[in-house]
Amino acid sequence: MARRRDPEGRMPLGEHLRELRARILKSLLAILVGAGVSYAFFNPIWSILRRPYCQVHQPHSIATTANGCGDLVFSSVFDPIIWHLKVAAIGGILLASPIWLYQLWAFVTPGLHKNERRYALQFVATAVPLFCGGATLAYFVMSKGLQVLLNFAPAGTVSLISIDHYLTYILAMLLIFGLSFDIPLLVVLLNRIGILSYRRLAKSRRISYFLAFVFSAVVTPSGDPFTMLALGVPLVVLLETATQIARIHDARKARAPAATAYAHLSDDEPSPLDLSTG
């Protein structure tokens, strides 16, 4: 007999852990399917992923290919297999982003009121384009970040960049930029459910912007100033956009008639009675 879910989302710790495990397994399965599809299109995906590296001018590279790309090296007989699997994994994560982002939301929603769970579709419909937008920005700034780093190489040195390190760098950049672009969406959702007000967001605006740049400096894998600014500036713009959305939402909420004062209550929760006019 299936166990009935608590309408308020309360459950023992063991059930929370089982719920988390189920969500993770669904996300991994979706990524695995996406990776299988990406593996079938390995050559065009690898060509796209390699392009930022080809745009880097490398005076210290040991050799260049016919199209001007510096050589990427490997030192193990198993590296080509790992190389194919990593490229497939990158494609799988991007293709499955709508599913694992939804699973992330679905794990949070049991603790929300019924009228707050309607934000699920809005969350996924907004989170996926933001994630893809961040990943796209990362793709276009990677060549600049690599160029800055390689320019520090002194004369008389040779760059031997391994395929494994390069793919790790790409995966980190795509995930960090993509997930960072979803942070302002979390701010909007916390405002919608009454946890963060516009007044609090406006009061902490300066510290939020400062922390956004600190966050960008810490999480970017290259650590160069260009990549930090490439993430920090859009993140500040998105945070300000989230703050203005919160301002509009709180203003509408303040103008709402008194009859909607109990709109936050669930359908089966009684509103308080006013006995002062009895």
In a domain, 50, yes or no: yes
Backbone phi and psi for residue 266, each to the nearest 5 degrees, phi listed first: -70, 165
* 8 A C-beta contact, residue 194 and residue 264: yes
In a domain, 263, yes or no: no
Backbone phi and psi for residue 70, each to the nearest 5 degrees, phi listed first: -70, 150
In a domain, 264, yes or no: no
Output the CA–CA distances (angstroms, integers) from residue 39 to 32, 87, 91, 167, 178, in the order listed: 10, 7, 8, 15, 22
23 shares its domain with 108: yes
* 8 A C-beta contact, residue 196 and residue 187: yes
In a domain, 105, yes or no: yes
187 shares its domain with 142: no
In a domain, 270, yes or no: no
- Between CA 159 and CA 79 the distance in angstroms is 19
121 shares its domain with 75: yes
In a domain, 207, yes or no: yes
158 shares its domain with 218: no
> Residue 181's pLDDT is what?
95
208 shares its domain with 160: no
42 shares its domain with 140: yes
91 shares its domain with 212: no
Half-sphere exposure of 215 (CA within 13 A, CB side): 18
> Residue 259's pLDDT is what?
45
pTM score above 0.75: yes
In a domain, 9, yes or no: no
142 shares its domain with 250: no
Contacts of 97 (CB under 8 A, 6+ apart): 128, 131, 132, 178
Query: Of 179, 214, 243, which marks where a domain is finished?
Result: 179
* 8 A C-beta contact, residue 227 and residue 146: no
Query: Of 179, 213, 233, which marks where a domain is finished?
Result: 179
Query: Of 158, 179, 200, which marks where a domain is finished?
Result: 179
85 shares its domain with 116: yes
- Between CA 148 and CA 57 the distance in angstroms is 10
158 shares its domain with 172: yes
Domain count, the chain: 2
b vs e for 27-60, b when ≥16 Cβ sit within 10 Å of the residue's Cβ? beebbeebbeebbeeeeebbeebbebbeebebee
| Domain span holding position 74 | 15-179
Closest C-alpha among 103, 108, 47, 99 to residue 72: 47
The neighbouring-strand residues paired with 64 are 70
In a domain, 267, yes or no: no
Per-residue confidence in pLDDT tens, the chain, 278 aa = 444 555 555 566 677 788 888 889 999 999 999 999 999 999 999 999 988 888 886 655 555 554 556 678 888 888 888 889 999 999 999 999 989 988 887 776 655 555 555 666 777 888 899 999 999 999 999 888 888 887 777 777 777 788 888 899 999 999 999 999 999 988 988 888 788 899 999 999 999 999 999 999 999 887 788 899 999 999 999 999 999 999 998 998 888 764 455 555 554 455 555 555 44
24 shares its domain with 119: yes
146 shares its domain with 214: no
